[in-house]
Chain A
Amino acid sequence: MISLILQGATRLLVALILLFSVYMLMRGHNLPGGGFIAGLIASAAFVLYALAWSLREAREALRVSPVKLAAIGALISLASAVPGMLKGFPPFTGLWLFIGGGAGDKGIPISTVLLFDVGIYLAVLGAVLALFFTIEED
């Protein structure tokens, strides 16, 4: 079913949902949120896009195959353990790098925990979309 209203609204909503998913990813360190839930939200955006337009266009919008995305995500999560290994800490120890810090200001914290969460985000997004696309195609 083609609905002009849904298609028009989707253009706006998809961007908003994706933005919101990134927000959820970033706030997840100290507040409810994180890679898993953000990945689910992002996949909801692509599912909405596929329903409003078509499966083919949703695949094109994603650009990479969802299975590949999931594998890359999992590898990124594993890679987040490497800095800890190099410094001789137990696996998955959180390490921070502060960018642009000054007096009284620690700067922007970038951590291996964030890298891990980004990996989870991609893995969940890829896995959910792989399932959804496969089921929709049948």
Chain B
Amino acid sequence: MGWLLALPFLLPIATGLLAMAARRRPRQARAISLAGCIGLFVVVVIIFVRVLDQGTIAAQMGNWPAPFGISLVVDRLSAIMLLLAGLVGLAVAIFAQADVDLRREVLGFQGFYQLLLAGVCGSFVTGDLFNLYVWFEVMLIASFALLILGGERAQLDGGIKYVALNLVSTLFMLMAIGMVYGLTGTLNMAALHVAFAEVDQPAALHMLAVLLIVAFGIKAALFPLYFWLPASYHVPPVAVTAVFAGLLTKVGVYALIRTFTLIFPADFRFAHDLLLIAALLTMLSGVIGAASQFEFRKILAFHIISQIGFLVLGLALFSPLALAGSIFYMVHNIVAKTNLLLISGTARRMAGSFKLAEIGGLYRASPVLAAVFFIAAFSLAGFPPLSGFWAKLMLVSASLEQAAYWVAAVALITGALTLFSMSKIWSEAFWKPHPQDGVRALASLSATERVQRMLPAILLVAISLGLGLFPQPLIHFCEVAAKELLDPAAYVATVLPARDG
């Protein structure tokens, strides 16, 4: 059991080291990296099936009993996040074979890519607050390297902004961790759940909540802490943006959900009220920012922010339905968003630019790409019967349930504005003719490149469609996962050894 739970990060680290060693032979490094991603996907599927079967599973690293050693814990939320990380990791790894140039591969792209996956998976399996910080650092190092790899001027500019603001986040997190340890004497999340229920210092709790919201809020790109994201996400190769969009900000949201369901007591309304305001402003400001952009990738980058608002909204409303909605939204969003970015990369390959004014004619050049974009984009906007519709429906009905009508109103307005942005891309990039008639057909690319670019996109869009047409199994899964989050007793009992007397 211990090995199974450690593999999601041990495997990418080992793969990354091997790929790094072989980086001067890019063909070999690619093969290693792809094999590692397939292996990772198999491992997360096994873990997912095991969790479906047995509920929460835990392992103690180094055979040190909790709360002294580092615990690895996978409950339903972690399991589905791991599954998504494995899926996105594999899809983007295939796409990157066509998208990332040789120079970046020699500089070690594949190695850093695997390190990033290790950081993401490590964050999802750990049951220890300090270990979470370590995985955040691993992710930060890997993502900074991926951002600036290639050393173009714009990349360095975006990279510096990214790393500076994220260092502030880790600093806040470290301060919070120090205070938590001083307050309770443990950093094991399950033990913290027990300890925090007995802490009788409201001032310390409030301060910790703010510190952690700021730390994870920067990572997740919450209002008003998101300005690093639009400054940096449009500079690296599309494959890098896609994996960032799919996984990085979501780790921040995951950490927020974990902290404010497991560690803090459930009746601590202060944090939820604060998160509710932040979520609503994030939704609105992200979508309005997107409406003002005229570049394919920048529009998508602003939409990442807006959708982070939806994910946090479910946590802020804090009812079983709302949390289930958040998890469903997470699944839908990771699949659809990663896919849209992959499509934007292929669109640029065919039409020559990200600027909407300079491209066009993609519908005529490749109806398949247009169809894939159409489904992914309208799923993002929440059109029935696509996956985004069910996600939004759950969140909106959760807010109506609590008579928070203005929350529902903001969610619907955001949905309408998302539709506006997606239609803008559709009419500019796909429908109108290319201004210089310079669009190349998908069929003119080599067969291998076509497979590498289209296979992940079609795979992801099939998942989006499947979730939209048959949402019931996932909705049920999300409801059980939300129930687990709201009642952590089973989680705590699995991690901590039974106490005598």
Interface residues, chain A, with chain B CB atoms under 8 Å away: 68, 71, 74-75, 78, 81, 85, 89-94
Which residues of B are at the interface with A, using a C-beta cutoff of 8 A? 1-3, 6, 10, 13-14, 17, 20-21, 59-63
Q: Please determine whether B61 and A91 come into contact, CB atoms closer than 8 angstroms.
A: yes
Determine if A90 and B21 form an interchain contact, defined as CB atoms under 8 angstroms apart. no
**Nearest CB in chain B to that of A67: its residue:** B20
A91 touches B6 (CB 8 A): yes
Contact of B2 among A68, A75, A78, A91 (CB under 8 A): A91
Of the candidates B13, B14, B17, B61, the one whose C-beta lies within 8 Å of that of A90 is B61
Q: A78-B13, A81-B10, A85-B3 are in contact. List 11 more A-B contacts (CB 8 A).
A: A71-B17, A71-B20, A90-B1, A90-B2, A90-B3, A90-B59, A91-B10, A91-B62, A92-B61, A92-B62, A94-B63
B17, B59, B60, B62 pick with most chain A CB within 10 angstroms: B62
Task: Pick 26 A–B contacts, CB within 8 A, sort by A.
Answer: A68-B21, A71-B17, A71-B20, A71-B21, A74-B17, A75-B14, A75-B17, A78-B13, A78-B14, A78-B17, A81-B10, A85-B3, A89-B2, A90-B1, A90-B2, A90-B6, A90-B59, A90-B60, A90-B62, A91-B10, A91-B61, A92-B61, A92-B62, A93-B62, A93-B63, A94-B62
Tell me which residues across on chain B come within 8 A of A94, comparing CB atoms: 62-63
Q: In the bound complex, do residue A89 and residue B13 qualify as a contact, i.e. CB atoms below 8 Å apart?
A: no
Residues of B within 8 A of A92 (CB): 61-62
Complex CA–CA separation, A132 to B1 (angstroms) = 41
> What's the nearest-Cβ distance from chain B to residue A121, in Å?
17
User: Closest CB-CB distance, B109 to chain A, in whole Å?
Assistant: 15
In the bound complex, CA of A125 to CA of B60 (Å): 29
Cα–Cα, bound, A94→B2 (Å) = 14
Contacting residues, chain A, for B20 (C-beta < 8 A) = 71
A77–chain B nearest beta-carbon distance, Å: 10
For A85, the chain B residues whose CB sits under 8 A away are 3
**Residues from chain A with Cβ under 8 Å of B14 in the complex:** 75, 78
Q: Which residue of A lies closest to B21 (CB)?
A: A71
CA distance A74 to B1 in the complex (A): 24
Pick from A71, A81, A89, A91 the residue with the most CB of B within 10 Å: A91
Within the complex, what minimum Cβ distance (angstroms) separates B62 from chain A?
5
Residues of B within 8 A of A93 (CB): 62-63
Bound complex: CA A93 to CA B69 (Å): 11
Q: Which residues of A contact B62 (CB under 8 A)?
A: 90-94
Chain A residues near B6: list those with CB within 8 A.
Answer: 90-91
* B495 CB to nearest chain A CB (Å): 14
Contacts of B60 in A (CB 8 A): 90
**How many whole Å from B83's CB to the nearest CB in chain A?**
21
CB distance from A90 to the nearest CB of B (A): 3
State in angstroms the CA–CA spacing of A78 and B257 once bound together. Answer: 31
Bound-state CA distance A14–B252 (Å) is 45
Question: Complex Cα distance A136/B173, Å?
Answer: 33
CA distance A74 to B21 in the complex (A): 12
